[in-house]
Chains A and B, each alone.
Chain A
Amino acid sequence: MNDLERDLKDLFDRKARAVDTTPAAPETVLRRGRRRQVGVVLGGALAGIVVLAVASGITMSMLGDGRDTVPVGPDGPYGARTAVIEGFEVRAPAGWTLMDQWAMANVLAAGASCSSTFSSVGQEIGGSPTVVETGSPQDQVCTPEPSTLPAGVPVLQLSTFDPGLMSPACDVFDEGTKGSLPTDGVAVVVTAFPGVRTPEEVQAALTQTCAATPDIASIVQGPSVTYVTATFAGANADPALLNAAPGYVRDLGGHDTREPRPGPLEGPAYIVGSGVTGDEGWQVSAGIALDERSTPAVWMTSFQLDGGALMGTLAQPWNGGPDPVASALDVGDAAVAIALIPSGYGEPIWESDEDAQVPLNHAPFPASISALTAQVFDGDVAWGEVPGTGGGLVPGRT
């Protein structure tokens, strides 16, 4: 060890000793930790679903962009994506709009609560509490209080048009209001109902809240929740698109023992991107954070393709400032960056610590979100695989 190394060691020891710390955890940190764990439990549920998908022989190569097998739809800002939403794998063709509305079930459900963290295996049925089986090696389990699921609450919608985040083809948000559907529009919708429902009951309920007569593609009956996949078409819709639509949504099974759980981080969103990095899959959402101000945000989830363990979640809310906001999450051997880019900033380019420059994918942040938030974000959402979490957006580009 040379003099400099000795000096550094002494310096570090002296400086570190001078730092006064307390072993008592601030309540704010514990609260953030608990919120984080709840978020991970939610993500873990997704990961568990992935395990089921693998077990049932469904190839996870579908988590690639699938451009070679999925036909291109109408013009739209987003490319082909694959996402997993509440037990349903959705392959969204380029140009189609995919909305994850499941978070609204948590908002609309009465009495849902998941305030702490648990470690367990298994499930309990026939009463409360309901146990979430994540399937991850950590076997995290959440025990929400009994909740009430609103009838016909939307889980997801894949459509040839952008209806706006809160104006889906089936509208349970405003009593007495039906959803919206353009005359040439096609939509495939998954909705959820509490308890056991007959096909007749489902048909009648959807007819009351949806924009057009539903063509029910499938009904998945679980002990506590009934999931319904249905297609809707306007009078001038392309029959080819209507025929193809149900095939884009695949029930992975395994979701019918769970009830809505509160989503402390993420609200309803558009799925804007997805990909596979190494042995992990990831999906990127642009939507509304469920905070006090309903902040516009971008977030992502990553999970192992082999084994199903959740690898991480990352949320990046908009801060209202003039500069872009960006974060990156370790995914596989690399990382995935997500960002919100104000208008006029130009092409988003991520610069790693090793000075490698990687252009990010980007598309307009969904306009309908700003209509629902106090804070308006008028710019692009960006995402892409980057060499590592170190680095950031190249500053000052116009």
Chain B
Amino acid sequence: MTEATLVEPGTSSMADLYARHVPSAIRLAYLLTGDRQQAEDLAHDAFVRCVGKFAHLRAREAFESYLRRAIVNLNTSGLRRKRSERAWLAREGAAEVGRTSSIPDVGAKEDLWRALSTLPPRQRAALVLRYYEDLSEHDTAAVLQCSLAAVKSLVARGSEALRTAVTEGGIR
């Protein structure tokens, strides 16, 4: 017989994990989706997925990177993307009527923000991971599960598309 040693992280532990990681995860998800509600759903789905697999990791700091990867993966999966796009289009369509011009700088940034929404999810994710999360190209490749060359390509193509969209004023 082996002596049982039961340790119950229980609800409070999971709540701690949530408090420590999910608020920043929601912000990341928001930058990936551009939609507040979608971001919260995405972060929660990723948290539930990770908490099942990784809540007992001895290296707790690893949870953050698993959560980040889960958010990016979930966001780029086909079905979720379709739902996100549908929700985004519905909201954007409704918001179009009431849109007003802003001060030039903020307006330009808003153009950039709208241009981001036209990028393929993995290009957008690469830009967010590089310039918001400040991940290295190597770490970005790990999150996106692709090669270093692919990250360089995603960032380059995304940047080029943004530059074109903003300079040509083609954002609607």
Residues of A within 8 A of B (CB): 4-5, 7-16, 19, 21-26, 29-30, 32-34, 36-37, 39-40, 116-126, 129, 131, 138-141, 143, 310-313, 325-328, 330, 351, 353, 388-393
Q: How far is the CA of A209 from the CA of B53 in the complex (A)?
A: 39
Q: Which residue of B lies closest to A29 (CB)?
A: B44
Query: Are B56 and A16 in touch, CB under 8 angstroms?
Result: no
Nearest chain A residue, comparing its CB with the CB of B160: A4
Q: Indicate whether A37 sits within 8 Å of B1 (C-beta atoms), given known contacts A19-B39, A24-B19, A390-B77.
A: no
Given known A-B contacts A7-B109, A8-B112, A123-B1, A116 and B11 have beta carbons under 8 A apart: yes
A33 near B109 (CB under 8 angstroms)? Answer: no
B56–A9 touching, CB < 8 Å = no
| Contact present for A39 and B52 (CB under 8 Å) | yes
CB distance from A264 to the nearest CB of B (A): 11
B67 interface residue, CB < 8 Å from A? Answer: no
Determine the main DSSP class of B at the interface with A. Answer: helix
Verify A19–B4 contact, CB threshold 8 A: no
B87 at the interface (CB under 8 A from A): no
Given contacts A34-B14, A36-B51, 12 further A-B contacts (CB under 8 A): A8-B112, A9-B132, A25-B18, A25-B19, A33-B47, A40-B52, A40-B53, A116-B8, A122-B5, A313-B52, A392-B79, A393-B78
The reply to whether B73 and A21 form a contact with Cβ atoms under 8 Å apart is: no
Q: How far is the CA of A381 from the CA of B76 in the complex (A)?
A: 23
Q: Given the known A-B contacts A8-B127, A123-B4, are A37 and B52 also in contact in the complex, defined by CB atoms under 8 Å?
A: yes
- State whether A8 and B5 are in contact (beta carbons under 8 Å apart), knowing that A328-B77, A390-B73 are contacts in the complex: no
B100 interface contact, C-beta 8 A = no
Q: A16-B132, A21-B23, A40-B52 are in contact. Are A391 and B77 (CB under 8 A)?
A: yes
Asked if residues B109 and A11 are in contact (CB atoms below 8 Å), the reply is yes
Task: Quote the shortest CB–CB distance from B50 to chain A (angstroms).
Answer: 9
Q: Which of these, A8, A9, A119, A393, contacts B7 with CB under 8 Å?
A: A119
Q: Tell me, in angstroms, the Cα distance from A15 to B30 when the chains sit together.
A: 8
User: Assuming the A-B contacts A29-B47, A117-B9, are A23 and B18 also in contact, with contact meaning beta carbons closer than 8 angstroms in the complex?
Assistant: yes
Answer yes or no: B22 CB below 8 A from chain A CBs. yes
- Is the Cβ of A16 less than 8 Å from the Cβ of B30? yes
Q: Closest approach, in angstroms, between the C-beta of A29 and any C-beta of chain B?
A: 5
Q: Quick check: B82 and A139 within 8 Å, CB to CB?
A: no
State how many angstroms separate the Cβ of A125 from the closest Cβ of chain B.
6
Q: In the assembled complex, which residues on chain A have CB atoms less than 8 Å from the CB atom of B81?
A: 392
B105 to chain A minimum Cβ distance, whole angstroms, is: 10
Tell me the complex Cα distance, A382–B59, Å: 36
- A122, B3: Cβ atoms under 8 Å? yes
Q: List 26 A-B contacts (CB under 8 A).
A: A5-B131, A7-B112, A8-B127, A15-B31, A19-B26, A21-B27, A25-B15, A29-B47, A29-B48, A30-B14, A32-B44, A36-B48, A116-B11, A118-B6, A118-B7, A120-B4, A120-B7, A121-B2, A122-B4, A129-B4, A326-B78, A353-B121, A389-B76, A389-B77, A390-B77, A390-B78
Measured between C-beta atoms, what is the minimum distance from B31 to chain A in Å? Answer: 6
The reply on B113 being an interface residue by CB < 8 A is yes
Q: Which residues from chain B contact A310 at a C-beta distance below 8 Å? A: 53
**Are B49 and A36 in contact, CB atoms less than 8 angstroms apart?**
yes
- The answer to whether the Cβ of B65 comes within 8 Å of any Cβ in the partner chain is no
